[in-house]
Amino acid sequence: MKLPISKRLLCCAELVPPCGTVADVGTDHGYLGIYLLQNGRCGHVIAADLRKKPLESARANAMAFGIPEAKAFPLGGRCPSAHTGADEGERPGASEPQTHGMTFVLSDGLHNFEPNSFDVLVLAGMGGDLIARILAEAPWLEGGPCRLILQPQSAANDLRRWLGERSWAIDRERLVRDGRFLYSVMAVRPGQGSALSPGEQYVSPALRREGDPLYADYLARTRRALELTVSGITQSADPADLARAAYYRAALEEVASLGAL
């Protein structure tokens, strides 16, 4: 039986560095965690969701694909095989993580997690504003070694702005086309980042460095969306829209000055 994982989640999985424990918050069907364990990317997955029904679906899918339920790992400690500080790609001399399975946790964001209970955090398939809220409600992430894989469904510019304001660095940003939608996936770490300009909040320096084959399409779509926004604000009589006009004009000018890689 083939795992029905989407291209969007596959892109997230490719950015997960080899590690001990991955927290998949908003797991839904659990396919990402199952894929990571099947492919030896990690040894343990904490699959968390706000609702019981998707969590039970993830548990049933894990069982169907032969992934054991790891009840022996409390949230207060990492899997013993954790590779702390692992970077993207294979670490020289690093052994393959031993598979211990999945733990299923009912949680609103990270509220039911303890600090340092995972090596990599994945937040995928939700709006950028919700991702920012989940991160803001877990301030202990700022001082830890955890890596973040973020895949916003919307408001990606707001999420990039939030990360930049807190000096969180976007190390890599990739694009993936899934159906008729074009998504971005960010690999982020706390610290060593800097505030982003309006244009960089739409097209990050990491995305420009990546050389992604979908970059030209993404750039054109972003420019068109900003043009429509600026046009709408210009015609609006709402004082709130007029106050935001300078931001969107600045973003459009920066994006329009960028060329395809």
pLDDT digits (tens, 9 = 90+) for 16-43: 999 999 999 999 999 999 999 999 999 9
Question: What are 178-226's pLDDT values in tens digits?
Answer: 999 999 999 999 988 999 999 999 999 999 999 999 999 999 999 999 9
pTM over 0.85: yes
Give the integer Cα–Cα distance in Å for 203 and 212.
Answer: 12
Q: Per the structure block, which two tokens stand in for 36? A: 């990571």
Domain ranges of the chain: 7-154
DSSP for 172-187, written as a single string: EEEEEEETTEEEEEEE
Beta strand 181-192 with 168-178 is antiparallel
Angle, nearest 10°, between helix axes 239-256 and 215-235?
A: 150
pLDDT tens sequence across 185-195: 999 999 889 99
- Segment-wise mean pLDDT, segments of 10 residues, the chain, 261 residues: 96 97 97 97 96 97 96 45 39 48 96 93 98 97 91 98 96 96 96 93 97 96 96 85 89 90 52
- Angle, CA of 188, 103 and 163, to the nearest 5°: 15
Domain 7-154 is classified in which CATH homologous superfamily?
A: Vaccinia Virus protein VP39 (3.40.50.150)
Please give the Cα distance from 175 to 166 (Å, whole number).
Answer: 24
> What token pair was written down for 249?
């004009």
* pLDDT score at 56: 97
Cα Dmax for the chain: 63
Residue 60's SS3 state is: helix
